[in-house]
Structure 1
Amino acid sequence: MALDPETFDALLGAIRRFVAERLRPLEDQVDREDEVPTEIVQEMREMGLFGLSIPEEHGGLALSMTEEVRVALELGRTTPAFRSVFGTNVGIGSQGLIMAGTDAQKAEWLPRIASGEIITSFALTEPGAGSDSASVQTRAVRDGEVYRLSGTKRYITNADKASLFTVMARTGGEGARGVSAFLVPADLPGVSIGRPERKMGQQGAHVCDVNFDDVVVPAANRLGEEGEGFKIAMRVLDRGRLHIAAVCVGIAERLIGDAVAYASERRQFGKPIGEHQLVQAMIADSKTETMAARALVLESAALKDAGQPITLEAAAAKYFASETVGRVADRTVQIYGGAGYIADYGIERLYRDVRLFRIYEGTSQVQQLVIARETMRRGG
């Protein structure tokens, strides 16, 4: 489903102004304080940003994938910590519920997810299960009408703010087929949250350990059937990877704009540095790669909206876009020279921020494996 063009254009314009007028002036503050101001979070709620992908019948905007990535492109023009405030509600924290939840589960949780009343989080990664996500050891043991959940999840985004976790836990034997998915409220006895980790970048977006100590979870909170958890997780990640790819493109476009502005003003050897061919080469490479990444994201989103499987396309978009924004950030620091290394200009902050994109939602190496496997499966 998609909004009518006029309504969507108005939404996109409002988000563009919000980014330029409200978010960008706060970037340094958020980086220093490691916290997004509460008034900004409330404005995000009022704009409907927590419900971008939630069905209309549950209070969301029900954006199509193409519309969602166009919004993500705009949100990429500021520090990614702002998007992370509601990113789990829009993506990995809600999509399992949307895809596999019962009517009762959706009615209970989705309206509050869409409004931003509650924050969601996606608990898959463990101390011993990162890229090898089928090897989760957190266990859920059936005990009548409940499951007893025990284990530890690591690097969980928005864990310290979350009211609801989508948790992948082992209910059967080893491997992907032994994993099931559960909706676990954060206030259940036995759930505890670790302190936010100190990170290289994306200050203001917190990740924490989440511990489950014999947590009693009603069987009614299971998503889908036993053994379907890994399949649900992979479908959730397909969509999430495409969203993240769009954010990467937005940041790359922001960096190119900053680089061009600086190269037009900074003078060396008697002329603006943008007139030197080796600087022009860096700008040309950045622009070309970013245009290619944007085209790949939009094409993949269109396939998703057409009902086509996008496991390969989402992996390719995330791989290419995340690697691209890393190269663009590096070139932008180089164009700025010494100023690019100084905090006052904000370029070193974005350089740190974008490094994570090559790791979460699946590392670049995992994306390569997915791309190769899917290409071979489809016969080239």
Structure 2
Amino acid sequence: MPVERLLPDTEAEDLIALARDIATNELKPLAAEYEEKERFPRDQFRLLGRSGLLGLPYPERWGGGGVSYEVYLQVLEEISAAWLTIGVGLSVHTMSCYALATFGDDAQRNEWLPDMLGGDLLGAYALSETNAGSDAAALATRAVPDGSDYVINGTKAWITHGGEADFYTTMVRTSPDGGRGISCLLVPGATQGLSASSPERKMGMTGSTTAQMIFDRARVPATRLIGGEGAGLKIALTSLDSGRLGIAACSVGLAQAALDESVRYAKQRTQFGRAIIEFQGMEFLLADMAAAVESARATYLEAARRRDRGLPFKRQASIAKLVATDAAMKVTTDAVQVLGGAGYTKDFPVERYMREAKVPQIFEGTNQIQRMVIARELRNT
């Protein structure tokens, strides 16, 4: 959906500075404790909402920030550098609002979008299933018309904010006609018949609740159908294009945090009477890390600029997601190496960064899927 305005440079800088201030002073001091205790940071999402950061790339008409994707992604990077759980959560919420903001009619947007963008509500995106991850057209969760409602049965898997979200943008099957039989329903979190399973036990991002969502004769008004029957796969795939840019920005933020910690440690740690940053082996390692971070940042920013100009950006979004998440995995691994034995302990955050860096290579389409998308786009040009 096109934004309503582009921010002047000074206004954009002020917004990014606000995000950096919140990230540094309100989020980063809590990250290690919340991740250690696997505590969901609901109050911190409310803080982002009160600060106007939960609806940035959507029009002001419905309570959004009306900012360009280029600016929104830089805000996302700042948040993720402090706490990846919050950054990814913000990206997921933004993607969860996309279907209504882009494919809903004005009556639907007027009724629900202001609350979704206003800061009090948190969204989730329910596409994946146990047997329908990368193969989105194979999903089996079924929605059957019943009077003025749809009755939904099935199970969604790997849902970020599962059991915590206030609404679920949910892809369901409304006919057996393959991908053409998929539709999108905006499901309230309090819907009777909707429940969450026990949260997944994960190696990283443990503060972010991930759970299966179970639909057991969950009844949803037909007025919550977005884009008409059969529009669900198109909605899902176009949502993912923008969502992949969000994950790219989050990954760059994480990699930047790992680089910053590495440089800080290398300046302070001495061996043989010198700071270890003065040794060529360490210099080259840190230089490669910096090059990876800045290259990944440039890649997602260029893709965002194409999106903002209304140009095709599917290939560029997949490239950004691929490059940025692979960079984050390498940079965080190298950060542990820079810190040596200290990096392998929980006294420093780099071991957590390394664990967290793995999942961005998997969600919003694995990096193998990104290569398929890129190659298909090349074939079709």
TM-score band, normalised by the shorter chain?
Answer: over 0.9
Instruction: Indicate whether 1:273 and 2:276 are aligned.
Output: yes
- Seen in structure 2, the aligned counterparts of structure 1 residues 38 and 220 have a Cα distance that, compared at 3 Å, is closer
Instruction: Single out whichever of 168-177 and 369-378 deviates more from structure 2.
Output: 168-177
Instruction: Indicate whether 1:74 and 2:115 are aligned.
Output: no
Task: Encode CA deviations 1:329-369: one digit per residue, 9 max, x unaligned.
Answer: 01110010000000011110111111110011110111010
**Residue pairs, 1:190-205, within 5 angstroms:** 190-205=193-208
Q: What's the CA shift for 1:88?
A: 2.7
Task: Encode CA deviations 1:250-274: one digit per residue, 9 max, x unaligned.
Answer: 2212211111111112122332222
- Seen in structure 2, the aligned counterparts of structure 1 residues 141 and 42 have a Cα distance that, compared at 3 Å, is closer
**Residue pairs, 1:286-301, within 5 angstroms:** 286-301=289-304
Whole-Å separation in 1 of the counterparts to 2:58 and 2:45: 18
Identity of aligned residues (%): 37
Instruction: Indicate whether 1:325 and 2:331 are aligned.
Output: no
Instruction: Indicate whether 1:24 and 2:28 are aligned.
Output: yes
Decide whether the 8 Å contact of 2:38 with 2:207 is kept in 1: yes
5+ residue gaps, structure 2, are: none
Whole-Å separation in 2 of the counterparts to 1:96 and 1:42: 22
Q: What is the RMSD of the two structures over their aligned residues, measured on CA atoms?
A: 1.5
Match of 2:249 in 1: 246
Q: 2:68 aligns with which of 48, 64, 70?
A: 64
Instruction: Indicate whether 1:214 and 2:220 are aligned.
Output: no
Decide whether the 8 Å contact of 1:138 with 1:152 is kept in 2: yes
Report SS of the residue matched to 1:93: helix
AA of the residue aligned to 1:6:
T
- Seen in structure 2, the aligned counterparts of structure 1 residues 248 and 85 have a Cα distance that, compared at 3 Å, is closer
Whole-Å separation in 2 of the counterparts to 1:38 and 1:243: 20
Q: 2:112 aligns with which of 109, 134, 141?
A: 109
AA of the residue aligned to 1:246:
A
Whole-Å separation in 1 of the counterparts to 2:347 and 2:272: 25
Whole-Å separation in 2 of the counterparts to 1:83 and 1:36: 13
Whole-Å separation in 2 of the counterparts to 1:54 and 1:315: 22
Whole-Å separation in 2 of the counterparts to 1:141 and 1:39: 36
Instruction: Indicate whether 1:367 and 2:352 are aligned.
Output: no
Instruction: Single out whichever of 204-213 and 171-180 deviates more from structure 2.
Output: 171-180
Match of 2:379 in 1: 376
AA of the residue aligned to 1:155:
W
Whole-Å separation in 1 of the counterparts to 2:32 and 2:165: 25
Decide whether the 8 Å contact of 1:150 with 1:212 is kept in 2: yes
Whole-Å separation in 1 of the counterparts to 2:92 and 2:199: 16
Q: What's the CA shift for 1:33?
A: 2.1
Whole-Å separation in 1 of the counterparts to 2:140 and 2:41: 36
Match of 1:93 in 2: 96
Whole-Å separation in 2 of the counterparts to 1:104 and 1:89: 21
Whole-Å separation in 1 of the counterparts to 2:369 and 2:191: 34
Q: 1:41 aligns with which of 19, 38, 45?
A: 45
AA of the residue aligned to 1:234:
L
Match of 1:10 in 2: 14
Match of 2:310 in 1: 307
AA of the residue aligned to 1:28:
A
Match of 1:227 in 2: 230
Task: Encode CA deviations 1:145-188: one digit per residue, 9 max, x unaligned.
Answer: 32221100011011222121111111122532221111111222
Q: What's the CA shift for 1:36?
A: 4.7
Match of 2:181 in 1: 178
Match of 2:352 in 1: 349
Whole-Å separation in 2 of the counterparts to 1:85 and 1:360: 13
AA of the residue aligned to 1:42:
R
Q: What's the CA shift for 1:41?
A: 3.4
5+ residue gaps, structure 1, are: none
Decide whether the 8 Å contact of 1:19 with 1:74 is kept in 2: yes
Match of 2:337 in 1: 334
Instruction: Single out whichever of 219-228 and 358-367 deviates more from structure 2.
Output: 219-228
Q: 1:54 aligns with which of 48, 51, 58?
A: 58
Whole-Å separation in 1 of the counterparts to 2:181 and 2:370: 23
Decide whether the 8 Å contact of 1:50 with 1:87 is kept in 2: no
Decide whether the 8 Å contact of 1:319 with 1:367 is kept in 2: yes
- Seen in structure 2, the aligned counterparts of structure 1 residues 158 and 23 have a Cα distance that, compared at 3 Å, is same
